[in-house]
């Protein structure tokens, strides 16, 4: 295998990496014992990841080889890894690291939407920017109220809700753009 072989990395990212991380998250999150702030954060990251996965496959069609692009594939693989580590950080009780990594993934989304002309719209950048700000607020609340974890869950819930709204607002816009890409 050559490191520069885009088709191999593309196939690995969309057929192995994304489903593996998603499977790990779902396996863990579906074994719910009780509701607590860490579980809520895990659910929010999982919802975020599921929406991203569905958005990549159905709206952006990133999983199709004819849409292969080394930068998109690299960013998508990075998002999968960072969101996975964020989830596992929350699972291990490290809220600050979890939020920091989730914020990093959101900033990767900003890069992703700012790079390509056909993705760069004020609605995209605004929604992802507000999501990033919510995650930053959650991260700051972790430092201000380290023992009161419920206070840090509200920004996560809002970030997941904003991203969910973004995906369902954006979905019709990309159908026509990706067909001729």
**According to the model, what pLDDT value does residue 177 have?**
44
109 belongs to a structural domain: yes
Structure confidence at residue 162 (pLDDT): 84
Does some domain include residue 64? Answer: yes
Q: Can you tell me the distance from the alpha carbon of 52 to that of 57, in angstroms, rounded to the nearest whole number?
A: 9
Residue 117: the pLDDT is 64
- Residue among 76, 39, 54, 23 at smallest CA distance from 157: 39
53 found inside a domain = yes
Residue 81 belongs to a domain: yes
Question: In degrees rounded to 5, what are phi and psi of residue 57?
Answer: -80, -45
3-class SS of residue 104: helix
pLDDT in tens, 111-138: 877 776 656 666 677 777 888 888 888 8
Domain count, the chain: 1
Q: Pick out the chain residues at pLDDT < 50.
A: 174-181
Residue 30 lies inside a defined structural domain of this protein:
yes
Residues with Cβ within 8 Å of 114's Cβ and at least 6 positions away in sequence, in order, are: 120, 125
Compute CA distances 139 → 50, 62, 130, 158, 170, whole Å: 22, 30, 14, 13, 27
The predicted pLDDT at position 116 comes to: 65
**1 in a structural domain:** no
pLDDT of residue 88: 94
User: What domain range is 28 assigned to?
Assistant: 6-179
């Amino acid at each position: 295998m050559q490191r520069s072989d885009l088709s191999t990395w593309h196939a690995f990212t969309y057929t192995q990496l994304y489903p593996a991380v998603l499977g790990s998250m779902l396996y863990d999150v579906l074994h719910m014992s009780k509701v607590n702030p860490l579980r809520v954060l895990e659910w929010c990251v999982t919802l975020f990841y599921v929406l991203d996965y569905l958005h990549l496959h159905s709206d952006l069609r990133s999983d199709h080889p004819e849409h292969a692009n080394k930068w998109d594939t690299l960013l998508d693989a990075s998002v999968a890894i960072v969101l996975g580590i964020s989830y596992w950080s929350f699972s291990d009780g490290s809220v600050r690291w979890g939020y920091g990594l989730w914020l990093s993934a959101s900033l990767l989304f900003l890069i992703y939407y700012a790079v390509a002309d056909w993705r760069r719209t004020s609605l995209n950048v605004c929604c992802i920017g507000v999501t990033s700000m919510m995650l930053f607020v959650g991260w700051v609340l972790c430092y201000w109220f380290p023992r009161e974890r419920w206070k840090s869950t509200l920004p996560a819930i809002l970030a997941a809700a904003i991203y969910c709204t973004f995906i369902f607002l954006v979905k019709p816009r990309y159908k026509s753009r990706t067909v001729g890409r």
